Structure 1
Amino acid sequence: MTSTTILYIILGILAFDFILERVLDVLNLRNWSPELPKVLEGIYDREKYSKSQQYQQEKYRLSFISSSLSFVASFLMILMGGFAWLDELVRQFTDNPIGVALLFFGVIMLVSSIIGMPFSYYSTFVIEEKYGFNRTTLKTFILDKIKGGILGVIIGGGLLALLIWIYQQTTQDFWWMAWSVMAAFMIFMTMFYSSLIVPLFNKQTPLEDGELKSAIKAFADKADFKLDNVFVMDGSKRSSKGNAYFSGLGAKKRIVLFDTLINELSTEEIVAVLAHEIGHYKKKHTLSGILISLLQTGLMFYIFSIFIGNPALSEALGAEVHGFHLGLIAFGILYSPISSILGLIMNFWSRHNEYQADEFASDKYEGQALGDALIKLSISSLSNLTPHKAYVFFYYSHPTLLQRLQAIGFKK
Structure 2
Amino acid sequence: MVRKWAFRAVLGYLLLGLFLYVYLFILADSSLPDSFKGSSADPATFMNAREIMLSEEFSKIKNLLFFLSTPYEWLFYFLILILGVSRGFEKWARGTAKNQFIQTAVYLFWLSLASFIAIFPLQFISYKISRTYNISTQNFSMWMKDELTDFWVNYLIMFIIVSVLYGLMKKFKNRWWLAAWALSVPFTIFMMFIQPVVIDPLYNDFYPLKDKALEQKILTLADKAEIPADHVFEVDMSEKTNSLNAYVNGVGSNSRIVLWDTTLEQLTDKEILFVMAHEMAHYVEKHIYIGIAIYLVLSFFGLFLASKLMRGIVANYKDDIKVSSVSSLSSLPLFLLLTSMLMFAVSPFSNWISRYQETRADRYAIEMTEDKQAAITSFQKLSKVGLSQVNPPILVKIFRYGHPTMMERLIMLEQYEQEEKE
- The amino acid that maps onto 1:54 is E
Number of residue equivalences: 404
Checking the alignment, whether the CA contact within 8 Å between 1:191 and 1:252 is kept in structure 2 is: yes
TM-superposed CA distance for 1:128, in Å, is 2.4
Cα distance 1:409–1:12, how it changes in 2: closer, same or farther (>3 A)? farther
TM-superposed CA distance for 1:132, in Å, is 2.2
Deviates more, 1:155-164 or 1:215-224: 215-224
- The amino acid that maps onto 1:196 is V
Q: Which residue of 2 aligns with 1:247?
A: 249
Deviates more, 1:268-277 or 1:359-368: 359-368
- Name the SS for the 1:369 alignment partner: helix
- The amino acid that maps onto 2:220 is A
Checking the alignment, whether the CA contact within 8 Å between 2:77 and 2:334 is kept in structure 1 is: no
Cα distance 1:11–1:275, how it changes in 2: closer, same or farther (>3 A)? farther
For residues 279 and 351 of structure 2, the distance between their equivalents in structure 1, rounded to whole angstroms, comes to: 17
Q: Taking structure 2 as the reference length, what is the TM-score of the superposition? A: 0.82
**Deviation digits for residues 274-327 of structure 1, max 9, x if unmatched?**
111111122221110122113322333334445555642770643263243333
Cα distance 1:130–1:90, how it changes in 2: closer, same or farther (>3 A)? same
Select 1:171's aligned residue among 162, 170, 173: 173
Structure 1 stretches of 5 or more lacking a match? Answer: none
- Name the SS for the 2:247 alignment partner: strand
Q: Which residue of 2 aligns with 1:103?
A: 106
Q: Which residue of 2 aligns with 1:408?
A: 413
For residues 195 and 330 of structure 2, the distance between their equivalents in structure 1, rounded to whole angstroms, comes to: 30
- The amino acid that maps onto 2:154 is G
- The amino acid that maps onto 1:113 is F
Cα distance 1:222–1:320, how it changes in 2: closer, same or farther (>3 A)? closer
Checking the alignment, whether the CA contact within 8 Å between 1:313 and 1:326 is kept in structure 2 is: no
Q: Which residue of 2 aligns with 1:115?
A: 118
**Deviation digits for residues 225-271 of structure 1, max 9, x if unmatched?**
44324211111131121111221122221111111111110000001
- The amino acid that maps onto 2:409 is R
Deviates more, 1:258-267 or 1:205-214: 205-214
For residues 372 and 35 of structure 1, the distance between their equivalents in structure 2, rounded to whole angstroms, comes to: 18
- The amino acid that maps onto 2:365 is A
For residues 26 and 399 of structure 1, the distance between their equivalents in structure 2, rounded to whole angstroms, comes to: 25
Question: Is it true that 1:41 corresponds to 2:44 in the alignment?
Answer: yes
Cα distance 1:154–1:61, how it changes in 2: closer, same or farther (>3 A)? closer
- Name the SS for the 1:193 alignment partner: helix
**Deviation digits for residues 69-91 of structure 1, max 9, x if unmatched?**
65655554445444445444544
For residues 285 and 249 of structure 1, the distance between their equivalents in structure 2, rounded to whole angstroms, comes to: 12
Cα distance 1:23–1:233, how it changes in 2: closer, same or farther (>3 A)? same
TM-superposed CA distance for 1:123, in Å, is 3.3
Checking the alignment, whether the CA contact within 8 Å between 1:98 and 1:164 is kept in structure 2 is: no
TM-superposed CA distance for 1:114, in Å, is 2.3
Question: Is it true that 1:264 corresponds to 2:262 in the alignment?
Answer: no
Select 2:368's aligned residue among 356, 364, 368: 364
- The amino acid that maps onto 2:168 is I
Select 1:55's aligned residue among 52, 55, 58: 58
For residues 387 and 82 of structure 2, the distance between their equivalents in structure 1, rounded to whole angstroms, comes to: 40
Question: Is it true that 1:395 corresponds to 2:391 in the alignment?
Answer: no
Checking the alignment, whether the CA contact within 8 Å between 2:354 and 2:402 is kept in structure 1 is: yes
1:202-217 counterparts in 2 under 5 A?
202-217=204-219
- The amino acid that maps onto 2:318 is E
TM-superposed CA distance for 1:18, in Å, is 7.7
Deviates more, 1:202-211 or 1:317-326: 317-326
Deviates more, 1:239-248 or 1:338-347: 338-347
- The amino acid that maps onto 2:362 is D
Deviates more, 1:111-120 or 1:142-151: 111-120
1:3-402 counterparts in 2 under 5 A?
23=19, 26-30=22-26, 31=28, 38=37, 39-59=42-62, 73-94=76-97, 98-124=101-127, 126-171=128-173, 174-306=176-308, 311-312=314-315, 315=318, 317-319=320-322, 321-322=324-325, 323-336=327-340, 338-365=342-369, 366-402=371-407
- Name the SS for the 1:139 alignment partner: helix
- The amino acid that maps onto 2:117 is I
- The amino acid that maps onto 1:46 is A
Deviates more, 1:139-148 or 1:381-390: 139-148
**Deviation digits for residues 158-195 of structure 1, max 9, x if unmatched?**
22112222333343553343223322221011122011
- The amino acid that maps onto 1:233 is V
- Name the SS for the 2:138 alignment partner: coil
Checking the alignment, whether the CA contact within 8 Å between 1:314 and 1:326 is kept in structure 2 is: no
Q: Taking structure 1 as the reference length, what is the TM-score of the superposition? A: 0.84
For residues 380 and 120 of structure 2, the distance between their equivalents in structure 1, rounded to whole angstroms, comes to: 33
Checking the alignment, whether the CA contact within 8 Å between 1:24 and 1:390 is kept in structure 2 is: no
Cα distance 1:350–1:89, how it changes in 2: closer, same or farther (>3 A)? same
Identity, in percent, stands at 26
For residues 316 and 247 of structure 2, the distance between their equivalents in structure 1, rounded to whole angstroms, comes to: 40
**Deviation digits for residues 28-65 of structure 1, max 9, x if unmatched?**
33335799984433132212101212323454566688
Checking the alignment, whether the CA contact within 8 Å between 1:175 and 1:305 is kept in structure 2 is: yes
- The amino acid that maps onto 1:248 is G
For residues 274 and 344 of structure 2, the distance between their equivalents in structure 1, rounded to whole angstroms, comes to: 33
Cα distance 1:152–1:313, how it changes in 2: closer, same or farther (>3 A)? farther
- Name the SS for the 1:385 alignment partner: coil
**Deviation digits for residues 102-127 of structure 1, max 9, x if unmatched?**
43332222122223334433433x32
Root-mean-square deviation (CA, aligned residues, Å) is 3.5
Checking the alignment, whether the CA contact within 8 Å between 2:277 and 2:365 is kept in structure 1 is: yes
Checking the alignment, whether the CA contact within 8 Å between 1:24 and 1:391 is kept in structure 2 is: no
